[in-house]
Amino acid sequence: MAFQVSPGVNVSEIDLTTVVPAVSTTDGAIAGNFRWGPVNHPVLVDSEDRLVSVFNTPNDDTATDFFTASNFLAYGNALHVVRGNVDGYNAAAGATSTTITVENENDYDEQASTGSLPSDHGDWVARYPGVLGNSLKISVCQSDAAWQSDVTTGYTLEQGSDALVLANSATSSEFTVGDVLTVGAEKLQVKIKAISGQDVTLTADYVGTTVANTDYTTITRQWEHAAITTGKPSTTDYADKWGSTGDGIHVVVIDEDGLVTGTKGSVLEIYNQLSVAKDAKTNEGASNYYADVINQRSSWIWFANHNANLGSAGSRADAVTTFTGASLPQNASFVSGTDTSALTASALITAYDKFKSTEDIDVSLVLGSAHNVTAIKHIINNIVEYRKDCIAVISPEKADVVNNSSYAGKQTEDVIAYRNTLPSSSYAVMDSGWKYAYDKFNDVYRWLPLNGDTAGLMVQTDLTRDPWYSPAGFNRGNVKNVIKLAYNPSKTDRDNLYKAGINPVVTFPGQGTVLFGDKTMLSQPSAFDRINVRRLFIVLEKAISTASKFTLFEFNDEFTRAQFKNLVEPFLRDVQGRRGITDFAVVCDSTNNTGEVIDRNEFIGDIYIKPSRSINFIQLNFVAVRTGVEFTEIVGRA
């Protein structure tokens, strides 16, 4: 309590309700190759649907990493995903030969603020690198005339071989591809398919329509997306308040080639009544400047450069401003996007390093997918061993088990040989193979590593029991979505694998496919060579260390030490009651907090744990006895 210099009542409040918190043990992490999505930036996904919405569906190049993630999500609902990149480029609208890579939002902000976006790379950039961006098209309607206008020059409607053609000796610059035309007294509606010189070719949908070669003195053209917008773009409320006019525009993002939705020409995003005025606001006070709105809301594109056809991009300023846009919509297809090559070890290391900091991101299981051995070693040595609060889960290389049966035992030998190239660690777990599973997105079957399932079984165990239960066996180790295994180890194979610290995954007739081992990759004999013990200590260390942070900067005296014990012991008793440990002891007194320790500004709490052990071996003894023998005479002697 503070000292008082005059009489009075001082009220203070002391919080002694601190407890050891629950900690997350089910969050997974994976880095890999995906068709879409932010690069080198972790994204938390909770389902396969969310995985698809952010990173898109798999193709042959991305299927292994995609389905490793998807397999994990079949058991759990929290996976942090990082997309790697080697030489993937973003598509752009109106791009030249200049290539551009915008990896994620932070990268865009940095390039935009430093002027690094190439001025000759078009007005719009696809949100992320990848060929998928080439399917995009953008259409901007920036004036009343662009939304709808009457063309008064005489045109002749002719029946072409594959379309209707409007022929005229005048220029065809009065139209743009996609415009919907209303012609003749019968108000025949046709859509412009192509423009070549002085001929405007209309959609083939109308081939077969009986028409005469008729001159039309008036044709009404309308922006192709007029029907899905809120009418003509007009002066926004904000500009009108200042006496300015003509700042409103509509923007539509289209899946031109159908690579995104499966249907060519599908509309992905619609933005009504945005403004070209940089200081424009909505009635709610948010920015209505078209570049800001699209950068904040779009899932597909970034603003790159202002198109002069949209008129001035200044503010409504201190004086009245008239914004004048072009009389035709501005349409542009995206080009020059490329997919990443196969991820190198360097690219994978860069991606996985996003999981390195315990303060930045909380993960418990790091999936190795089918990455090269250099990346796997980095995951073990520099991620999980560095963090010491999560486990790497890996599978052997595909060539070790898929179509590798030149002689009996070859698969076992190669899996063990691969294991021997990796370091010893209680923070890593290895299973024995790959599974054959159905790819519903491409209607094919694929070989997939099992580490996504192995990690998923740990999550499932957490959700149904506790992290300190073994995820293996017939009660909790059933693997989902398996057509067949590439390698189904026999009892002899399982013995050899288990001695090497590899957990067999086995299909038993009539009993399904089961994770049939719970070892870590620790080579030395120890309690920590079991998954349940390692995960028990991760939970205890994570939870108690989190709670212990509130002891920092307190005095190292009997009161603080008693507080610490009263904090930790109830938590350990709860874990003991839930069968995680058989006994424990907490020492935090003057025996380990000596004067020397106190003078170094340190605080020591020694926590002794007897972990519960999972049953790996069962011995059943059946003893035959003579008829006249009493069981009490022989029990315990056989």
Q: Do 456 and 585 share a structural domain?
A: no
Least confident of 42-46, 154-158, 358-362, 383-387: 154-158
CATH, residue 182: 2.40.30
Per-residue pLDDT at 208 exceeds 50: no
Q: Do 195 and 159 share a structural domain?
A: yes
User: Of 162, 190, 217, which marks where a domain is finished?
Assistant: 217
Tens-place pLDDT, residues 100-125: 899 999 999 998 888 777 666 678 99
Per-residue pLDDT at 329 exceeds 50: yes
Domain boundaries, position 598: 561-638
Confidence (pTM): 0.89
Burial of 596 (0-12, 13-18, 19+ CB in 10 A): exposed
Least confident of 160-169, 183-192, 228-237, 243-252: 160-169
Q: Do 139 and 49 share a structural domain?
A: no
Average pLDDT over residues 597-619: 89
Tens-place pLDDT, residues 355-410: 999 999 999 999 999 999 999 999 999 999 999 999 999 999 999 999 998 888 99
DSSP 606-638: EEEEEE---------------TT--HHHHTTT-
pLDDT of 482: 96
pLDDT of 462: 93
Least confident of 162-166, 269-273, 465-469, 614-618: 162-166
Per-residue pLDDT at 200 exceeds 70: no
Average pLDDT over residues 295-308: 90
Whole-angstrom distance, CA of residue 111 vs CA of residue 116? 5
The DSSP H or E segment spanning 571 is helix 558-577
Q: Do 255 and 283 share a structural domain?
A: yes
**Is the residue at 442 inside a domain?**
yes
Least confident of 140-149, 202-211, 366-375, 521-530: 202-211
Whole-angstrom distance, CA of residue 364 vs CA of residue 429? 13
Tens-place pLDDT, residues 49-88: 999 999 999 999 999 999 999 999 999 999 999 999 988 9
At 386, is the secondary structure helix, strand, or coil? helix
**Is the residue at 326 inside a domain?**
yes
**Is the residue at 38 inside a domain?**
yes
- Angle between helix 410-419 and helix 491-499 axes, rounded to 10 deg: 10
Per-residue pLDDT at 133 exceeds 80: yes
Percent of the chain scoring above 90 in pLDDT = 63
Its sign, for the CA torsion 155, 157, 163, 167, is negative
pLDDT-based confidence at residue 172 (cuts at 50, 70, 90): low
Per-residue pLDDT at 170 exceeds 60: no
pLDDT-based confidence at residue 234 (cuts at 50, 70, 90): confident
Average pLDDT over residues 126-144: 93
User: Of 304, 338, 372, which marks where a domain is finished?
Assistant: 338
Whole-angstrom distance, CA of residue 143 vs CA of residue 325? 6
**Is the residue at 502 inside a domain?**
yes
Region class of 149: left (phi > 0), else alpha (psi between -120 and 50), else beta: beta
Specify the pairing of strand 266-275 against strand 248-255.
antiparallel
Whole-angstrom distance, CA of residue 349 vs CA of residue 106? 20
**Is the residue at 394 inside a domain?**
yes
Q: Do 281 and 307 share a structural domain?
A: yes
Whole-angstrom distance, CA of residue 465 vs CA of residue 463? 6
Percent of the chain scoring above 70 in pLDDT = 86
Q: Helix, strand, coil: what percent of the chain each, to 5?
A: 30, 25, 50
Average pLDDT over residues 246-275: 93
Number of structural domains found in the chain: 4
More confident residue, 475 or 188: 475
- 243-274 burial, b at 16+ Cβ within 10 Å, e below that, comes to ebbbbbbbbbbbbbeebbeeeeeeebeebebb
Q: Do 630 and 579 share a structural domain?
A: yes
User: Of 292, 309, 338, which marks where a domain is finished?
Assistant: 338
Q: Rg (Cα) of the chain, in Å, rounded?
A: 34
Per-residue pLDDT at 344 exceeds 80: yes
Q: Do 274 and 126 share a structural domain?
A: yes
Tens-place pLDDT, residues 305-326: 887 777 666 655 444 567 777 7
Q: What is the mean pLDDT of the chain?
A: 87
CA angle, residues 321, 323, 324, in degrees to nearest 5: 140
Least confident of 39-48, 261-270, 522-531, 611-620: 611-620
Q: Do 197 and 241 share a structural domain?
A: no
Q: Do 483 and 350 share a structural domain?
A: yes
**Is the residue at 2 inside a domain?**
no
Per-residue pLDDT at 562 exceeds 60: yes
Q: Do 158 and 148 share a structural domain?
A: no
Whole-angstrom distance, CA of residue 266 vs CA of residue 351? 33
At 55, is the secondary structure helix, strand, or coil? helix
